[in-house]
Amino acid sequence: MTVNQAGRRMLVAAALVAGCALGASAQTTLSLEEKAQFLRTARITSSKDIPKGVTRPIRLTLTDGTLTHDAAFSAVDEHTAILKFKDGRTELDFVDSYKYTLAAYQLAAMLGIDDMMPVTVEREVDHHKGSLAWWVDDVKWDEGERLKLKLQPPDPEAWNRQMYRMRLFAQLIADTDRNTGNMLITSDWKLWMIDFTRAFRRSRKLLVPGEVARCDRALLDRLRALTKDEVAAKTKPFIGGAEIAALMARRDAILVLVDKLVADNGEAKVLY
């Protein structure tokens, strides 16, 4: 791998001298590309089921001989003409696919919010292609658990800003499954978005426009600058023309909505 081996050896040596195993803090010193490379190439040493969740991704342990870290692997790729949910709702051309998680990660990178997602790459495991995501260590709660425990973030404004970034992204990609189990919170109160297998619906309208109430300025700039061709190039082959056309229409709808919010309420209430 391309990681600076000598540097890592020094880290290992330092950890051993300190009498502890290579910890999460040392692991997070890897760059995003180094993490991606590790996920693509490190040897898989064990696998276990994840007790939570619906589509049952598996938790793998990987090692490159120096670094050992876990990752979540999902190979779900279901296409159903008409799916009837337990609550009576139906969805036509229902798709549940690991490819959408990969497309979401690429798109998040284009928008500068990929620090809200674990690094995710495509990899083949046991002859199945799937998404492989860096395991987020130090998760304290998912959002469902936080709400149940009625825990308040220490810095509500910082927390809300993360939430509004996530909500805008969910509307952009028409994510039908942004449930509280797909929002992980680490001890530093950082919000992590995972699991986008039910996104990229073909709706040209926003699923829940009310979710876009405030907007990060840097994210808004990137959103305005997004082009169809660039999206197509970066998300290939995980999403195609129909998904991208709908995505760009929703992008336009978000821009109109944010501009209107600013005109009605003033920039200070909407943008941050």
Neighbours of 204 (CB within 10 A): 14
Within 13 Å and on the Cβ side, how many CA atoms surround 80? 12
Which of ligand ADP, Mg ion, none sits in contact with 130, Cβ below 5 to 8 A by type? none
Options 142, 175, 195, 216; binder of Mg ion; rule CB under 5 A: 195
- The DSSP code for 136 is -
Instruction: Say which residues have a Cβ less than 8 Å from residue 155's Cβ, sequence separation at least 6.
Output: 189
130 binds ligand ADP (CB under 6 A): no
Alpha helices in 70-142 (DSSP H): 98-111
**Which entry of Mg ion, ligand ADP, none binds 72, CB below 5 to 8 A by partner kind?**
ligand ADP
Residue span binding ligand ADP (CB under 6 A) among the ranges 9-17, 133-141, 203-211, 213-221: 133-141
Quick check: 79 binds ligand ADP (CB under 6 A)? no
Of the candidate residues 114, 143, 195, 243, the single one contacting ligand ADP (CB under 6 A): 195
Cis peptide before 237 (omega within 30 of 0): yes
Residues 101-120 that bind ligand ADP (CB under 6 A): 118
For tokens 């190979």, name the residue.
75
Instruction: For 17-167, list the strands marked E by DSSP.
Output: 43-49, 58-63, 68-74, 77-84, 90-97, 120-125, 128-134, 139-142
Window 227 to 246, contacts with ligand ADP (CB under 6 A)? none
The single-letter code of the amino acid at 210 is G
Between 165 and 198, whose beta carbon lies closer to Mg ion?
198
133 binds ligand ADP, rule: CB under 6 A = yes
The gap from C-alpha 247 to its chain's centroid, in whole angstroms, comes to 17
Binding mask 144-183 for Mg ion (x = CB under 5 A): --------------------------------------x-
The Cα 52–Cα 197 span in angstroms is 16
18-57: contacts with Mg ion (CB under 5 A): 53
Choice from 194, 206, 220, 253 touching ligand ADP (CB under 6 A):
194
Contact between 97 and Mg ion per CB under 5 A: no
Contact between 52 and ligand ADP per CB under 6 A? yes
Q: Site for ligand ADP (CB under 6 A): how many residues?
A: 21
Q: Measured between alpha carbons, how far is 170 from 179 in angstroms, rounded to an integer?
A: 11
Cα separation, 238 vs 98, in Å, equals 9
Bridge partners of 133? 72, 120
Q: Residues interacting with Mg ion, by CB under 5 A?
A: 53, 182, 195
Q: Residues interacting with ligand ADP, by CB under 6 A?
A: 50, 52-57, 72, 74, 118, 133, 135-136, 139, 142, 181-182, 184, 194-195, 197
